[in-house]
Amino acid sequence: MEEAKEVSQGIFGNIEATKSIAAALAIGIGALGPALGIGKLASKAMEAIGRNPEAAPKVQTAMILAIAFAEAIAIYALVVALIIKFV
């Protein structure tokens, strides 16, 4: 009877398995937005530099700063995933 109860609870009956899935979803979804944002940002920066090469230093500085801010969001997602996993 005890064995049947464990099987019927499924994956959400095991708290460690649920934590692992939640951590994986947190980092997976949390990294998706910044990855798309960084890709679009770099694409537009390359277009701007291609159209006006003299503005390359200004565009590159702004691009690197924006990439750092976007990457910080991914680091926050990593921290949340680690908190979910180990707390």
CATH number at residue 59: 1.20.20.10
- Separation CA 66–CA 28 (nearest Å): 21
pTM: 0.74
**Would you give per-residue pLDDT tens digits along the chain (87 residues)?**
555 555 556 666 788 888 999 999 999 999 999 999 999 999 999 999 999 999 999 999 999 999 999 999 999 999 999 999 998
Residue 3 lies in a domain: no
* Number of domains, the chain: 1
Judge whether 26 lies within some domain: yes
Nearest to 71 by CA among 33, 18, 24, 16: 33
In this structure, is residue 9 part of a structural domain?
no
- Residue 5 belongs to some domain of the structure: no
